[in-house]
C-alpha cells in the first residue's frame, strides 16, 4: 500500500508567513514609492508654473507689455511680478505667480551656470525644501525664462519648463 506524503497545513502556513515577511522587507527596495511621489509632485509644480505663466502672459497682452525684454510689471493684483516678454522673469515673480509655498519649495535664481546641470545664469530652480542647489541636484524643476527674436515683429518664445526627476 502506497502512503501519500505531502505537506501539512502547519508547514504550508509557515512557508507563506516567511514569504510574506520577505516580500514586505524586500518590496520597498524594488518599488520606489517615495521617489515616484516626489517626481509626480514636481510634475504638478511644472503644471502650476505653466498655468501661471499663461495667465500672466494673457494679462501682459491686455496691458501691451508682452513684447518688452524687461523692466515691466503688471497692474494690481500682479504688481509684484516682473516680466520678461510677458512671462514671469525671476524666482520672486514665479513665487508670486504660481503661489508656491516657501515652506515646501526652494525657488532660486541660478547664480552659476551648470548648477544644476543644463542651467544658465538667469534660469530659476524649483526644488523641495531642504535641497541644496548645486551641480549634483537631480530632483527639481528648471525654468528657463522667455526669449524673443530680434527685429520686427518681436516673436516671443515661451519659457521652457523642465522636470528633472532622476535623483528623486
Euclidean distance between CA atoms 50 and 77, whole angstroms? 19
Q: How far apart are CA 105 and CA 127, in angstroms?
A: 6
User: Is 147 part of a structural domain of the chain?
Assistant: yes
In a domain, 160, yes or no: yes
User: DSSP assignment of 12-58, as one string?
Assistant: HHHHHHHHHHHHHHHHHHH--HHHHHHHHHHHHHHHHHHHHHHHHHH
pLDDT of residue 109: 92
Please tell me the predicted confidence (pLDDT) of residue 167. 85
Contact predicate 132/115, CB 8 Å: no
What is the number of structural domains in the chain?
A: 1
Residue 4 lies in a domain: no
**Within-domain flag for 1:** no
Regions of the chain with pLDDT less than 50: none
Whole-prediction pTM value?
Answer: 0.78
First to last CA, the chain: 64
Q: What is the pLDDT of residue 1?
A: 58
Do strands 140-144 and 160-164 pair parallel, antiparallel, or not at all (unpaired)? antiparallel
Q: Is residue 8 part of a domain?
A: no
Q: Three-class SS of residue 93? A: helix
Flag whether 61 is in a domain: yes
Q: Residue 144: which domain range? A: 13-164
Classify residue 124: in a domain, yes or no: yes
Amino acid at each position: 500500500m502506497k502512503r501519500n506524503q505531502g505537506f501539512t497545513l502547519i508547514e504550508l502556513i509557515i512557508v507563506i508567513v516567511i514569504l510574506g515577511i520577505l516580500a514586505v522587507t524586500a518590496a520597498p527596495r524594488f518599488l520606489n514609492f517615495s521617489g515616484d511621489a516626489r517626481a509626480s509632485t514636481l510634475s504638478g509644480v511644472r503644471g502650476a508654473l505653466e498655468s501661471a505663466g499663461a495667465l500672466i502672459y494673457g494679462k501682459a497682452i491686455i496691458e501691451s507689455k508682452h513684447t518688452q525684454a524687461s523692466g515691466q510689471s503688471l497692474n494690481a493684483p500682479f504688481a509684484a511680478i516682473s516680466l520678461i516678454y510677458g512671462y514671469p522673469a525671476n524666482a520672486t515673480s514665479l513665487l508670486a505667480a504660481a503661489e508656491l509655498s516657501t515652506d515646501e519649495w526652494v525657488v532660486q535664481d541660478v547664480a552659476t551656470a551648470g548648477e544644476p546641470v543644463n542651467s544658465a545664469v538667469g534660469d530659476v530652480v524649483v526644488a523641495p525644501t531642504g535641497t541644496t542647489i548645486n551641480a549634483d541636484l537631480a530632483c527639481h524643476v528648471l525654468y528657463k525664462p522667455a526669449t524673443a527674436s530680434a527685429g520686427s515683429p518681436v516673436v516671443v518664445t515661451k519659457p521652457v519648463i523642465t522636470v528633472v526627476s532622476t535623483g528623486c
